[in-house]
Amino acid sequence: IHSVTKVHRIACIPGDGIGVDITEAAIRVLSTLSNTLSGFEFDFTTFDWSSKHYLERGWYMPPDGLEQLKKFDAIYFGAVGWPNVPDHISLWGLILPIRKSLNQYVNVRPTRVLQGTTSPLSSCATNPTDLDWMIIRENSEGEYSGQGGTSHEDSPNAIATEVSIFTRVGIERIMRFAFETARSRPRKKLTMVTKSNAQRHGMVLWDKVFYEVAKEYEDVETDKMLVDAMTVRMVLQPKSLDTIVATNLHADILSDLAAALSGSIGIAPSSNLDPTRKNPSMFEPIHGSAPDIAGEGIANPVGAFWSAAEMVRWVGEQKAADGLMKAVENVTARGVKTKDLGGNEDTKGVTNAVCAEIETLF
């Protein structure tokens, strides 16, 4: 019998602050996974694209950076941003060009309460299944299109425009992805979020396309929320929600709220997907570089592990992905947690425990 070992080539961009610690932790866990299970391996290549190097070199990514990334099967990203570089420069220097140029038009953000952790909503969400959401964020246009301009910049009459761009093509493809996601989940329920009462162009087109696409998915139950009312519903009626689709800006905000409601921003994962699979997709925890705790070795690596599990699933290793998540939850269930989740372990302690659990499981 010949067994074929599949090699998944992974580009790693640790970036800044705790991005470095949690990427190292994720690589360790992924290596343990591939050493324990047969049939696949990971080939990691690390890129030192960070704010520190930006200050020395004047660039985040070299001119052929995107071409280099295209050669990989997936990209693993830590975090970018540091207090001595304005946020819009670090964002537009690295992560936004990757998302845009590699056609990663979907950002998927699962949220649930992991075993052994508690939601701050303990009066509404009393057991883990009460809060189990899948937020689908439009990742390529809308409010983060980068269009606009400033005039009279340094005068009292300064004017700036920030133009949101919505296209039928862009809306339709995110809606289809959201409906497919909703259909694949047990509750088959999709909530669409806009602000079409106040924003009367793009948001109205968003509503219109939603209802059109909905006709193709009669088995999916739908409802519509305004974004302000949505924040209230997430807090007071978490059980009433399942799959959620929203624009770039709205979903950015809602998913930070979702992460906090699930227990800690340190556990939340995200996937930047090119559903056509012509380009590599990118996986990253949703938290930032956390300068306040950087270098202390106490960052929660769970969001990094969950993001790694989503990456493993995307490259086709279903069993390994499920095993990794099982290992993570067995560890949190035993109370092996970092401080943000009320535990007293550090990054290394949780990482060691997850590696040991993987070896026990398989």
- 81 scored as a contact of ligand ATP (CB under 6 A): yes
Least distance in angstroms from the C-beta of 12 to ligand ATP? 17
> Is residue 231 within 8 Å of 257, Cβ to Cβ?
yes
- 288 scored as a contact of ligand ATP (CB under 6 A): yes
> Is residue 300 within 8 Å of 350, Cβ to Cβ?
yes
- 346 scored as a contact of ligand ATP (CB under 6 A): no
Q: Where are the beta strands (DSSP E) in the chain?
A: 6-15, 40-46, 74-79, 106-112, 132-138, 142-151, 159-165, 189-194, 221-226, 243-246, 269-273, 281-285
- 292 scored as a contact of ligand ATP (CB under 6 A): yes
Least distance in angstroms from the C-beta of 113 to Mg ion? 21
Scanning residues 178 to 237, which ones bind Mg ion (CB under 5 A)?
none
Binder among 263, 266, 269, 349 for ligand ATP (CB under 6 A):
266
Closest CA to 119 of 291, 263, 277: 263
Binder among 290, 320, 325, 336 for ligand ATP (CB under 6 A):
290
Rounded to whole angstroms, how far apart are CA atoms 301 and 18?
A: 9
- Of the listed pieces 131-139, 156-164, 192-200, 284-292, which binds ligand ATP according to CB under 6 A? 284-292
Closest CA to 314 of 6, 95, 11, 8: 8
How many CB atoms lie under 10 A from the CB of residue 216?
A: 10
- 299 scored as a contact of ligand ATP (CB under 6 A): yes
The type of residue at 190 is: L
Rounded to whole angstroms, how far apart are CA atoms 335 and 350?
A: 10
DSSP states along 65-134:
HHHHHHTSSEEEEEE---TTS-HHHHIIIIIHHHHHHTT--EEEEEEE--TT---TTTTT--SGGGSEEE
The option from Mg ion, ligand ATP, none interacting with 289 (CB < 5 to 8 A, set by class) reads ligand ATP
Binder among 300, 307, 332, 352 for ligand ATP (CB under 6 A):
300
Least distance in angstroms from the C-beta of 263 to ligand ATP? 11
- Of the listed pieces 44-52, 54-62, 136-144, 297-305, which binds ligand ATP according to CB under 6 A? 297-305
Closer residue to ligand ATP in complex, CB, 260/356: 260
Q: Which residues contact 310 (CB under 8 A, 6 or more apart)?
A: 108, 110, 269, 271, 283, 321
Closer residue to Mg ion in complex, CB, 191/270: 270
The option from Mg ion, ligand ATP, none interacting with 26 (CB < 5 to 8 A, set by class) reads none
How many CB atoms lie under 10 A from the CB of residue 263?
A: 27
- 287 scored as a contact of ligand ATP (CB under 6 A): yes
Binder among 23, 270, 289, 307 for ligand ATP (CB under 6 A):
289
Scanning residues 285 to 304, which ones bind Mg ion (CB under 5 A)?
288
Binder among 125, 227, 265, 309 for ligand ATP (CB under 6 A):
265
> Is residue 39 within 8 Å of 6, Cβ to Cβ?
yes
- Of the listed pieces 29-37, 40-48, 247-255, 295-303, which binds ligand ATP according to CB under 6 A? 295-303
Q: What is the DSSP letter of 162?
A: E
- 328 scored as a contact of ligand ATP (CB under 6 A): no
Count of residues binding ligand ATP (CB under 6 A)?
Answer: 17
Q: Which residues bind Mg ion (CB under 5 A)?
A: 288
List of residues contacting ligand ATP (CB under 6 A): 18, 79, 81, 87, 265-266, 287-290, 292-293, 299-300, 303, 338, 340
